[in-house]
């Protein structure tokens, strides 16, 4: 139940982003059952190619908690974190990643992904992070469809 | 010769960072033989675990050039970009990565790296980025030694 609530917060953030002309990605960081922060991708609005939803959420959580150590936090992401975002989770010591759509779904929507899965990154990097994928995947894929349907979508 | 000049700018940025209590990483982004930006790691000063030197340099270059597309740019980094920074270079469409020390050198200095090399990332992600490693490696390794010698070094 709680997982659904937290992923819903990530989806809501992504939806806000899409409505503001951003790409359809959202993330939410939770600790001890409480939402610390939710953020959407801001690459276009900030002219910052690193401003993915997960990076934005991690930055905001660091600021809010005044620490670079997010041990015990879970990140809910509407899409499987790209290798940049996976590695950002690693550096932040995030304990668990829960994601909806897959990197392949983002590729289908036009994004030029480095197609390395979170499981591959975890195995190669010997990371201890827990990963739960395909959670509310269909709901998360819908974000791409809504975004493409707007006609002003700009992948990168 | 130019490569040496640009790596020297990255080393200078790292040195400034170390003197300011930051970790010993610097990066410099160059286009058409001109330095666009040089930056050092700012994880501690910004309480932002994503503020690696390469990410800082990419953000600054995006702002300065008012674009998220850094095609044609070369990044000089005192240390092999971690997977987060490698993927950030990919998203930014940086054409070439030149690095000094290796991820293994950063690990030796105490950083909890995801030990996935740039060559591995490139192969797995089918990236077209050019990579030149071990450039002025000894000079770049010295940055770690200077940093460790200060006694106030905080890896993460």
The reported pLDDT for the residue numbered A91 is 98
Check CB contact under 8 Å for B68 and A49: yes
Contact map slice: A 97-116 vs B, CB within 8 A: 112-116
Instruction: Give the single-character DSSP code of B129.
Output: -
Residue B145 has pLDDT above 80, yes or no: yes
B44 Cβ contact list (under 8 Å, min separation 6):
A68, B21, B22, B23, B154
A124 shares contact with chain B (CB less than 8 Å) = yes
- Please compute the mean of the pLDDT values over residues A113-140 and round it to a whole number: 97
A144 closest CA partner among A47, A17, A52: A17
B78/B98 Cα distance (integer angstroms): 8
Enumerate the β-bridge partners of residue B132. Answer: B98
What mean pLDDT is reported for chain B?
97
Burial of A156 (0-12, 13-18, 19+ CB in 10 A): middle
- Please compute the mean of the pLDDT values over residues A26-35 and round it to a whole number: 98
Least confident of A61-65, B99-103, B124-128, B150-154: B150-154
Selecting among B4, B19, B54, B80, the annotated active-site residue is B54
pTM over 0.90: yes
Strand B34-40 to A96-101 pairing: unpaired
Residue A1 has pLDDT above 80, yes or no: no
Question: b/e per residue, A71-87, with b = 16+ CB within 10 A?
Answer: eebbbbbbbbbbbbbbb
B73 closest CA partner among B82, B88, B83: B88
Check CB contact under 8 Å for B84 and A82: no
For residue A107, indicate whether it is catalytic: no
Q: How many CB pairs under 8 A join A and B?
A: 113
Structural element, H or E, at residue B28: strand B26-31
In this prediction, the answer to ipTM > 0.85 reads: yes
Strand ranges in B65-133 using DSSP code E only, listed in sequence order: 73-79, 96-101, 130-132
- Please compute the mean of the pLDDT values over residues A80-106 and round it to a whole number: 98
A123 Cβ contact list (under 8 Å, min separation 6):
none
Interface test with A, best of B57, B84, B97, B113 (most A CBs within 10 A): B84
- Please compute the mean of the pLDDT values over residues B138-147 and round it to a whole number: 97
State the CB neighbour count (10 A cutoff) for residue B19. 11
pLDDT digit string (tens) for B3-35? Answer: 999 999 999 999 999 999 999 999 999 999 999
Instruction: Give the single-character DSSP code of B151.
Output: S
Give the DSSP per-residue string, chain A.
-HHHHHHHHHHHHHHHHHHTT--S-EEEEEETTEEEEEEE--HHHHT-TT--HHHHHHHHHHHHHT-S--TTEEEEEEEPPPHHHHHHHHHTT--EEEEEE-HHHHHHTT-------HHHHHHHHT---EEE--TTHHHHHHHHHHHHHHS-----
Structure tokens at A17: 């982003």
Selecting among A4, A34, A54, A119, the annotated active-site residue is A54
A58 shares contact with chain B (CB less than 8 Å) = yes
B123 shares contact with chain A (CB less than 8 Å) = no
The reported pLDDT for the residue numbered A152 is 86
pLDDT digit string (tens) for B54-83? Answer: 999 999 999 999 999 999 999 999 999 999
Enumerate the β-bridge partners of residue A130. Answer: A96
Instruction: Give the single-character DSSP code of B37.
Output: E
What mean pLDDT is reported for chain A?
97
The reported pLDDT for the residue numbered B152 is 86
Question: b/e per residue, B37-53, with b = 16+ CB within 10 A?
Answer: bbbbbbbbebbbbbbbb
Strand B34-40 to B73-79 pairing: unpaired
Name which of A50, A88, A91 is nearest B59 (Cβ-Cβ): A50
């Amino acid at each position: 139940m709680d997982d659904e609530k937290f992923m819903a917060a990530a989806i809501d953030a992504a939806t806000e982003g899409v409505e503001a002309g951003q790409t359809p990605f959202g993330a939410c960081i939770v600790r001890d059952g409480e939402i610390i922060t939710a953020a959407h991708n801001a690459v276009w609005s900030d002219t910052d190619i690193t401003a993915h939803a997960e990076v934005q959420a991690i930055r905001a959580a660091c600021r809010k908690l005044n620490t670079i150590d997010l041990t015990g936090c879970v990140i809910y992401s509407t899409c499987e974190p790209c290798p940049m975002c996976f590695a950002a989770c690693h550096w932040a010591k995030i304990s668990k990643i829960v994601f909806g759509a897959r990197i392949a779904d983002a590729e289908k929507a036009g994004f030029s992904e480095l197609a390395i899965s979170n499981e591959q990154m975890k195995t190669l990097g010997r990371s201890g992070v827990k990963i739960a994928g395909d959670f509310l995947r269909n709901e998360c894929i819908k974000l791409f469809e809504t975004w493409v349907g707007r006609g002003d979508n700009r992948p990168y």
